[in-house]
């Protein structure tokens, strides 16, 4: 068990959403936003005290008794039970027992709005993995239903290709600093999607064919390596059209932004969190457009991507 401070990066899934679960190669980027976890030992109490903050404001506190994971007090029972589940799995993975004579104080701080969908859960799993020296992918498998790409991004300081091969993650670092990055923006939709529910719905109701999986893998490579905005936009549009067909849902641009003079791509769960918009004109025009649609959180590439 490590007694220190740990940090994991947030994430955005640029390509491969949903189909990464079927073996498609996805492209993900770590963000400048993330989560910190601090661990300290104390003699004046036993068990674990967990204090979680969002943007330095108190959010969740849980006191686990000296009988490990017995919830003594919390301000949110549902979240406390979920945290207890994660911690029990992590301690089991690491074959760890706790010295109940010393108290453990955990403080976490998320430095982005939880509704942004940048990985409040994945950064937590990654940090717990650092703390307890357990494999974060195994922890993710046991406590969530996703592909694990978010944990990979949490631990990477560069964009990555991520693919499940025989159920195991295959990760490679890539260079993604396009010459046209000043024409890329990340727009928050103010409509949070539940990733667990979205993934469950996909797994239970949809099965992409191998042709779609292969095409998405190819588009991930094209998007990552595009030398100009024309080729980039073309790949984004093709990617959106394939996912629209597979999911049976109209693309986000067609649904809400059909008059936008650029491309718009969903990132992660369709219908919520951030989208990526490309735009050749003045930034002020782009901001005016999205502001008129009630979308006021707009970040430049260099403000978002690590």
Please count the structural domains in the chain: 2
Residues 13 and 140 grouped into a single domain: yes
Residue 196 has pLDDT above 70, yes or no: no
Distances (CA, A) of 221 to 25, 51, 175, 235: 8, 41, 11, 10
Question: Which of the two residues, 17 and 277, has the higher pLDDT score?
Answer: 277
Bridge partners for 126 per DSSP? none
In this model, does residue 216 exceed pLDDT 60? yes
List the Cα angle 112/247/227 in 5-degree steps. Answer: 65
Domain boundary among 105, 139, 173: 173
Do both 127 and 234 map to the same domain? Answer: no
Other Cβ atoms within 10 Å of 292 Cβ, number:
8
Which CATH number does the domain housing residue 54 bear?
A: 3.30.230.10
pLDDT tens digits, one per residue of 159-171: 999 999 998 999 9
Q: What is the CATH number of the domain that holds 208?
A: 3.30.70.890
The strand pairing partners of 264, in sequence order, are 277
Given a cut of 90, whether residue 269 has pLDDT beyond it is no
Q: Are residues 136 and 67 in the same domain?
A: yes
Q: Which region among 80-94, 96-110, 125-139, 217-231 has the lowest average model confidence (pLDDT)?
A: 96-110
Do 164 and 286 belong to one domain? no
Torsion angle, CA of 166/167/168/169, rounded to 10 degrees? 110
CA 234 vs CA 25, 228, 285: distances in Å = 18, 10, 22
Q: Residue 249: pLDDT band by 50, 70, 90 thresholds?
A: confident
**98-138, pLDDT tens digit by residue?**
666 678 999 999 999 999 999 999 999 999 999 999 999 99
- Asked if 110 and 60 count as a contact pair (C-beta separation under 8 A), the reply is no
Q: Which DSSP state fits 55?
A: T
In this structure, are 130 and 267 located in the same domain? no
Residues 6+ positions from 138 with CB-CB distance below 8 Å: 93
Same domain for 202 and 66, yes or no, is no
Co-location of 36 and 58 in the same domain: yes
Provide the token pair at 235.
Answer: 């790949």
Range 232-243 average pLDDT: 97
pLDDT at 194 over 80: no
Choose one of 147, 173, 199: the last residue of a domain. Answer: 173
66 shares a domain with 169: yes
Whether residues 169 and 187 share a domain: the answer is no
Same domain, 152 and 283: no
- Do both 25 and 157 map to the same domain? yes
206 pLDDT above the threshold of 90: no
Say which residue the tokens 């024309």 belong to: 230
Last residue of a domain, one of 149, 173, 197: 173
**Quick one: 102 and 247 in the same domain?**
no
φ and ψ of 60, to 5 deg: -135, 135
Average pLDDT over residues 212-216: 95
Which residues form the domain of 101? 5-173
């Amino acid at each position: 068990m490590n007694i220190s401070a740990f940090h994991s990066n947030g994430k955005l899934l640029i390509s491969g959403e949903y189909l990464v679960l079927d073996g498609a190669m996805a492209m993900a980027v770590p963000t400048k936003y993330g989560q910190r976890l601090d661990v300290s030992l104390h003699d004046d109490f036993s068990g674990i005290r967990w204090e979680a903050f969002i943007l330095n404001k108190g959010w969740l506190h849980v006191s686990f008794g000296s009988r490990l994971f017995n919830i003594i007090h919390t301000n949110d029972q549902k979240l406390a039970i979920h945290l207890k589940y994660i911690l029990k799995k992590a301690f089991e993975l690491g074959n760890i027992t706790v010295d109940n004579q010393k108290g453990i104080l955990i403080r976490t701080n998320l430095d982005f709005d939880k509704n942004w969908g940048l990985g409040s859960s994945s950064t937590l799993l990654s940090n717990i993995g650092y703390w307890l020296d357990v494999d974060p992918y195994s922890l993710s498998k046991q406590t969530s239903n996703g592909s694990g790409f978010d944990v990979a991004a949490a631990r990477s300081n560069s964009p990555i290709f991520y693919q499940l091969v025989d159920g195991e993650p295959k990760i490679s670092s890539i260079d993604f600093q396009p010459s046209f990055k000043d024409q890329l923006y990340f727009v928050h939709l103010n409509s949070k999607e539940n990733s667990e529910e979205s993934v469950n719905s996909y797994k239970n109701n949809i099965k992409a064919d191998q042709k779609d999986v292969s095409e998405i893998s190819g588009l991930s490579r094209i998007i990552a390596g595009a030398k100009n905005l024309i080729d980039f936009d073309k790949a984004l549009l093709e990617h959106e059209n394939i996912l629209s067909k597979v999911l049976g849902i109209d693309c986000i641009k067609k649904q809400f932004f059909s008059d936008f003079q650029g491309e718009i791509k969903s990132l992660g769960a369709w219908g919520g969190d951030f989208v990526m918009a490309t735009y050749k004109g003045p930034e002020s025009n782009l901001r005016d457009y999205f502001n008129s649609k009630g979308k006021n959180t707009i970040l430049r590439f260099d403000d978002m991507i690590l």
